[in-house]
Structure 1
Amino acid sequence: MNKTILTLVAVVLLFNCSTAQKVAESQSINKSKVKSSMIKALEWQEAHPIIALAPTDWTNGAYYTGVARAHKTTKDMMYMAALKNQAYWNDWQTFDRIHHADDIAISYSYLYIDMNEGRKNFVDLEPTKKFLDAHLYEDDNWKAGTDKSEYGRTILWWWCDALFMAPPVLNLYAKHTNQPKYLDDMHKFYMETYNQLYDEEERLFARDMRFVWTGSEKDSKEPNGKKVFWSRGNGWVIAGLALILDDMPEDYKHRPFYEKLYKEMAAKILEIQPEDGLWRTSLLSPESYDYGEVSGSGFHTFALAWGINNGLVDKKHTSAVLKAWNAIAACQHDDGRVGWVQNIGAFPEPASYDSWQNFGTGAFLMAGSEVLKLKQI
């Protein structure tokens, strides 16, 4: 009897959010409601901090990137207060794995503060510079290609998530300090990842070499026989591309590459968007976990809305982006928590009504920050 009741409760929770996702298809958005939902998400997340490795880890890096983008759009000082508070208590430090792209993601928020605070000598960027110089220029087994594990750790950024974590920071650091060498080195290592993990046929990134098809029967496949493409993994990449293009000089010699890659991925993401607006954790096998997942969807929505706002995606796709936002917003709890976020992982896995992570809140804030700019609202 108890087992039956628990099963019924689980079904009801799944039904409720799935129903919300399916009915949230309005193609208009109230700006005040968007701003309110973003502030509620910020307030809830600030009151419920979560640490995977340290306060300076990649999860907080992604979250505070979302906070920075929310401030950039709204200029609401609640976001800047949150940014400065965490940076102060972090003492402007990165995390400590200098050859791991994840551990510099937090510096996006430090750079943003320094570019928008107005007070001299408030931000200490020395730890960021020290990390970047070591990351780019010191020897490492990955860069040397000596790690032959199944993950393909033979390049610096061997997993697609890395393209969100380090490149936007390097790009912004190059812009802020007027040192283009950091942008050129970013491009060098970005191309290594692109050449190893980008599937030109599918216009999506494999998470790492475990999911790159080689023609062997041992290749990782979804139950429907399709290749494994993780929603959040590709969300990391396309959101990172939008961040990069937002700060990259218009005349930078390699900018056409990033614009082309962005357009290819954006077109694919739009093509495979489910009818209820939210992407599933497995992009080419949506039936594997047939309900929307918010972190990947949030990053996709941010990137697509950014593309519309900056002329790289046709405005005719605005309705698809608004549908996605409405579905994401329907997964926010009344207290501000953002649900239906797949937990930390490296491939498609389930999410639930109650599953949340700070990077999911970051994706939510990033999506809202660009949806607010859409001209058809």
Structure 2
Amino acid sequence: MLVGGTALSAVALASPGGTRPPWRRWVRRPAAARYPAPELPSRDAIIRVLRRVADHWIGAHADPGDNGWANATFFSGLLALHRLTGAAPYLAYARRWAEKHAYGLKGGVSTRHADNQCAGQAYLDLYELEPEGQKLAAIEACLRRMTLTDQPAKNDDWWWDDALHMAMPPFARLGALRRDPRYWDKMFALYRHTKTAEGGPGLYDADASGLWYRDKRFLPGGIVSPGGRPVLWSRGNGWVAGGHVKTLKALPASERHTAEYRATLTRLVTAVAKVQRPDGFWNVNLADPAHLPGPETSGTSFFVHGTAYAVAAGLVDAATYVPVAARAWNGMVASAVHPDGLLGFVQKVGDRPESSQPVTYESTADFGVGAFLLAGTELARVAR
């Protein structure tokens, strides 16, 4: 129901333990802006929203949680916000999380699964702030095994596009930290297997859309939407964007594959700009606007992250693409950020648009908050 330009929505207040109390209160939910402004807010305004969202999540989660990929994505975003603001509580919360897990990985150092390696991104962040060897012991042992000792010729581990976000950045950063290009060579071999049909699934649609299929089930001839159109999942492509951004931040321009990573990210950013919704969001299926067409925050956040980086790095024209990022950011702030800082319209864990539906104003998740923090911290680089 619209009242004075806003829609009323019942929101249950979460206690610090994450439980829902037996009472509810009514809050005013902003109506989705049909045409959010194409101008960026100020850098300070962006930071204020980021802090409200981060503070809400931390306040609602006294226990910082596990070290799986979803929560590790949150801490990647939180540490990006710490680098932007210098706020000590964010570093303290991240340090407490890492110490809780002894800077370890799910599956131990023998794991080859990209999801298990995502925590290494935050450990690398913490190491850069406070260099202590034990912080990198697990992630370095894990990636060293894959690169040098445990079936180093095996390159088929990244069979789904999410893997590019989870594991590319640790390989890129460890190679830079140790000045050892063997990590970069291994990363590229894994990446090319995922990307091309030369012995791999070939998830990159290089000839047509410039977007990525989530995994081989969705390749042409496989799963399609109810309307018979391809399924190009928004968050799946968001993971690809995030993986490229973080990898490019770590690699020197002279690294022999940097140009390909830059070109691929540029193609993705320009492709998604063409299918942005009028309200600034992106649909969960980028190829079919009629397929579950509600707003979705996690994919949208990663596209802001990728677009803002591409602008700052000079990969795309600022006059054309800053408005794309601004509309998305302004749309999320107006429609998905609750007054108390809860971030809504996040599609929860899944592997396709149908997963964890319906996506609602109250739907939130750790990785969605992390994606939003990554988006805003990158956007602050191009704002005044």
TM-score normalised according to structure 2 size: 0.84
- Partner of 2:95 in structure 1? 84
Provide the rounded CA distance (Å) in 2 between the counterparts of 1:50 and 1:205.
Answer: 37
1:33 counterpart = 2:45: yes
Q: Which residue of 1 aligns with 2:185?
A: 184
Question: What amino acid does structure 1 have at the position aligned with 2:175?
Answer: A
Q: Give the Å deviation of 1:51.
A: 9.5
Change in Cα spacing, 1:95 to 1:307, as seen in structure 2 (3 Å) is same
* Alignment-mate amino acid for residue 211 of structure 1: F
Inter-partner Cα distance in structure 1 for 2:120 and 2:237: 22
- CA RMSD in angstroms comes to 2.5
Q: Which runs of 4+ in 1 moved over 4 A?
A: 11-14
| 3-state SS, counterpart of residue 198 of structure 1 | coil
Match of 1:151 in 2: none
Tell me how far 1:41 sits from its aligned partner: 1.5
- Per the alignment, do residues 26 and 259 of structure 1 end up closer, same or farther by CA in structure 2, a change over 3 Å counting? closer
2:331 to 327, 331, 334: 327
Structure 1 counterpart of 2:374, from 358, 366, 370: 366
CA contact (8 A) 1:333 1:339 kept: yes
1:209 partner letter: K
Q: What is the CA-CA distance between 1:74 and the residue it aligns to?
A: 2.7
The alignment status of 1:112 with 2:120, answered yes or no, reads: no
Amino acid corresponding to residue 372 of structure 1 in structure 2: A
Question: CA distance change for structure 1 residues 143 and 51 in 2, over 3 Å: closer, same or farther?
Answer: farther
- Displacement of 1:369 after TM fit? 0.2
Residue correspondence of structure 1 range 83-232 to structure 2 within 5 A:
83-96=94-107, 98-117=111-130, 120-121=131-132, 123-136=134-147, 137-139=149-151, 143=154, 155-195=156-196, 196-200=202-206, 201-214=208-221, 219-232=222-235
2 CA distance for matches of 1:327 and 1:275? Answer: 9
Letter in 2 for 1:190: Y
2:29·2:338 contact (CA, 8 Å) conserved in 1? no
Distance 1:210 1:298, change over 3 A: same
Q: Which amino acid counterpart does residue 33 of structure 1 have in structure 2?
A: A
User: SS at the partner of 1:232?
Assistant: helix
CA distance in 2, matches of 1:312, 1:256: 11
Distance 2:135 2:35 in 1: 47
The 1-side partners of 2:220 and 2:289 are apart by 19
Residue of structure 1 in register with 2:16 after alignment = none
- 1:233-262 deviations in Å (ceiling 9; x for gaps): 000001110111111111001111111111
Question: What SS class does the counterpart of residue 39 from structure 1 fall into?
Answer: helix
Residue 354 (str. 1) matches residue 365 (str. 2): no
1:115–1:176 Cα contact (<8 Å) kept: no
Q: Distance in 1 between matches of 2:146 and 2:345?
A: 34
Distance apart, 1:50 and its partner CA: 10
Residue number in structure 1 paired with 2:18:
none
Paired position in structure 2 for 1:283: 286
Provide the residue aligned with 1:266 in structure 2. 269
Shift in Å at residue 78 of structure 1? Answer: 3.0
Alignment of 1:333-344 (within 5 A): 333-344=338-349
CA contact (8 A) 1:299 1:363 kept: yes
> How far apart, CA to CA, are the structure 2 residues paired with 1:220 and 1:50?
41
**Alignment-derived partner of residue 67 in structure 1:** 78
Contact 1:63 1:362 survives alignment (8 Å)? yes
How much does 1:82 deviate?
A: 2.4
Q: CA deviation at 1:374?
A: 1.2
- Displacement of 1:90 after TM fit? 1.6
Question: How many pairs were matched up?
Answer: 348
How far did residue 44 of structure 1 move? 1.8
8 Å CA contact retained: 1:49, 1:358: no
Once residues 278 and 127 of structure 1 are traced to their aligned partners in structure 2, the CA distance between those partners, rounded to angstroms, is 38
The answer to whether the 8 Å contact 2:38/2:324 transfers is no
* 1:43 correspondence with 2:92: no
Which residue is equivalent to 1:147? none
Amino acid at match of 1:130: A
Q: Write the deviation string for residues 147-189 of structure 1: whole angstroms up to 9, x where unpaired.
A: xxxxxxxx21000000000001110111112222111100110
Unaligned runs of 5+ in 1: 6-10, 145-154
CA shift for structure 1 position 101: 0.3
Structure 1 position 135, deviation (Å): 3.8
Tell me the residue number matched to 2:13.
none
Q: Contact 1:25/1:277 (CA < 8 Å) preserved in 2?
A: no
Worse-superposed segment, 36-45 or 198-207: 36-45
Q: Is the 8 A contact 1:99 1:134 kept in 2?
A: no
Distance across 1 between alignment mates of 2:93 and 2:184:
28
The answer to whether 1:318 aligns with 2:331 is no
SS at match of 1:290: coil
Aligned AA for 2:95?
A: K
Alignment-mate amino acid for residue 344 of structure 1: V
Residue identity opposite 1:227 in structure 2: P
Q: Which amino acid letter does the alignment assign opposite residue 20 of structure 1? A: A
Q: Secondary structure at the match of 1:197?
A: coil
1:6-65 CA-to-partner distances (Å, cap 9, x unmatched) read xxxxx9649x8683343543523033232122112212222334999x711000111111
Distance 2:260 2:62 in 1: 36
